[in-house]
Chain A
């Protein structure tokens, strides 16, 4: 492809509708490609529908053979599905990314400082910036974490920040994930597949690499070794093969060359954690745990948990093992705390937040509650204690009955819900399942989950996971609810 082709992109079919009131990631209202998108438009979007569909078929085959799958809860145990993949990449130009990167770094550093403070001196509570009752009453607040001082003060080693792009083209934070965020393996695998499908386009576009993530993660994990041990034993703790993110646990442990352990592979002796190896017990220094706090230690939390390690809390408190992410980080991504995050950024960093958040209403306030309940069908209501899109009610799409039930639930336990206005997520050209003469692709809603690694250095993986709602008009992008994903290209220039 020559330079002229890039500057004069082939016009796309009229069947592709650019809706006003929605931000299209690839085209402006005059149907011109946005910065950085011209090459993808000129090379990929003009292809014959059959050829585009063929790309997807080849990609599906690769994912299936590589076993890049996730498990769906509520279906027959262990049923593996591939995460639907859309071969039209999402492009983020270098300037846009630079801003995002700065905003993400700022945000995650502030959230980490908040956790350190909440379980330490509690300054922010004394200063009344975040209500003490809200923090101490939050189910994510862990007494067991009070007084913990992890190496370098790092509670949040890995953060996944969910961003949406509004009609104004700005990115907003929808949700923070600083417990056990997942999805990064798809970022890396999507690129592997994309590089095989469209090698010339990937190369010519100057896409920033994502393959260093596992090495960076391992470095951050090693920094957490108690006593600064030089070659620590690091392991990844998984709930096991029925967990929806099991593939990711396998993938990351493989890429990092560390053991993948389940709770019953570990045992605590004398406040130390050991793995049961064929030659006896071997001490573990750092656990990258992908198990929720609640399940981590049956002695302290849920006695019915078979997934965790009895006594690990005591081992952590004794300073003999580190876990990442640290204990109790859920206090920072709790949906009720979310409304205070801009204040948290200002409080710890003395800077204005670079990334705005989606307007968030706390329903425990009676006035706010009254306002929201009056127009419930205009809001998205989220339970504060669930993730993965479970239990979310989208007002404009909800049935009368669902709205009634939501109202009752809110009135019963107002602390358990927040409400946000319906964000019109940006759209992106996405290949259709069957074309029906409407053209091979159409706009579908997307979000973005970038991943941030915190340690001595803060690193943001270029891009992140772009999830796409494959059903027309749908705003739910979660893989557990029929979403797919796209490769996300951050351009070098």
Chain B
């Protein structure tokens, strides 16, 4: 497999996963703002703060309200992390490697891109927005299904997988960080109705609420949520699950070499695996969840650059 193609596969996957993750975050938070108890201050401001794109937003918008924030997150091509921009970037990467993916996958990506070009602000109106996100989520599931159902398990599949898994692992830590670091209201609210609602929203963002209830019952506890999203080996969006798959994919890639040898990428993934294996939820909460999440993100970055150095870098 060409380095350039592997690189495009990796980034197409990352952008696609990022688009999906953005959609999850925006839709769930949007729901939360509509269903939840009337919040203090401007709720759209806190959503902006969470995104880390507040400065960019302020460059282009005067007022912070539902319309402007949704437009910014979903449609705005000036925002490189908007859902539309991510879909464009995923499709642009896929375009140069169309011959290495299935026609079905290309068709899905291209159709999504064409539809995204047509999206109008009207789709984000209060009465439409729920359907909009629901349908978008279905598209992402369909793409995941096409990837699983049509791509041969080879290098192409593995580089796509590496992109998806790294992005997913990073995003699950961001999701937790948002709740823990930014949304945490006042000390007296911990365990209160707002807190619970927010944790439920976090779980829902990761499609984890139902799985959580199956495993832990109705009671939502911070520790269990963290356990589920970081350390659960069986839940497909937990950091641990992603790391396990990452290790497998990296091993397969290394073994496909004409002369397989110990790869620096293994060292990098060992680091993340070790970090997650050595702790549990109560320990990391006690030791400071935010710092731990940052550590996980840094380990993800290390894997990403190890993959780049070994397989993608172009002399």
Chain A interfacial positions (CB closer than 8 Å to B) = 64-67, 240-241, 250-251, 253-254, 259-262, 264-265, 275-280
Contacts and interface: CB of A to CB of B under 8 A. Distances in A.
Nearest to A238: B96
A261 B311 CA distance: 17
Contact of B6 (A254, A262, A264, A278): A278
Interface stretch (B105-113, B131-139, B195-203, B230-238): B105-113
Contacts of B220: none
A66 B107 contact: yes
A241 B96 contact: yes
Nearest to B155: A278
A260 B98 CA distance: 9
B142 interface: no
A59 to B, nearest CB: 16
Contact of B2 (A241, A250, A277): A277
Q: Which 9 A-B pairs have the closest CB atoms?
A: A254-B99, A278-B311, A279-B257, A253-B99, A250-B98, A67-B110, A260-B99, A278-B6, A276-B3
A337 B1 CA distance: 42
Contacts of A67: 95, 98, 106, 110
The SS class assigned to the A binding surface is mixed
B142 to A, nearest CB: 14
A260 B311 CA distance: 18
28 contacts: A65-B107, A65-B110, A65-B111, A65-B114, A66-B103, A66-B107, A66-B110, A67-B106, A67-B110, A250-B98, A250-B99, A251-B99, A253-B99, A254-B98, A254-B100, A259-B2, A259-B5, A260-B97, A260-B99, A261-B2, A265-B3, A275-B2, A276-B4, A276-B315, A277-B2, A277-B3, A278-B1, A279-B257
Contacts of B253: 278
Contacts of A264: 4, 314
A277 B111 CA distance: 30
Interface in B3-44: 3-6
Contacts of A259: 2, 5
Interface in B86-138: 95-100, 103, 106-107, 110-111, 114
A259 B97 CA distance: 9
Contacts of B4: 262, 264-265, 276
A254 B6 CA distance: 16
A279 B110 contact: no
B275 interface: no
Contact of B256 (A240, A260, A275, A279): A279
Contacts of B97: 260
A276 B6 CA distance: 11
B107 A278 contact: no
B265 to A, nearest CB: 11
Given A64-B114, A65-B111, A66-B110, A276 B98 contact: no
A419 to B, nearest CB: 41
B95 A241 contact: yes
B315 A278 contact: no
A253 B312 CA distance: 22
Nearest to B315: A276
Contacts of B106: 67
B258 interface: yes
A26 B94 CA distance: 42
A476 B237 CA distance: 56
A240 B5 CA distance: 12
Most chain B beta carbons < 10 A, residue from A65, A253, A260, A278: A278
Given A278-B3, A280-B257, 19 more contacts: A65-B107, A66-B107, A67-B95, A67-B98, A67-B110, A240-B96, A241-B95, A251-B99, A253-B99, A254-B99, A254-B103, A262-B4, A264-B4, A265-B4, A276-B2, A278-B1, A278-B6, A279-B311, A280-B258
Nearest to A257: B99
Most chain A beta carbons < 10 A, residue from B1, B98, B110, B257: B98
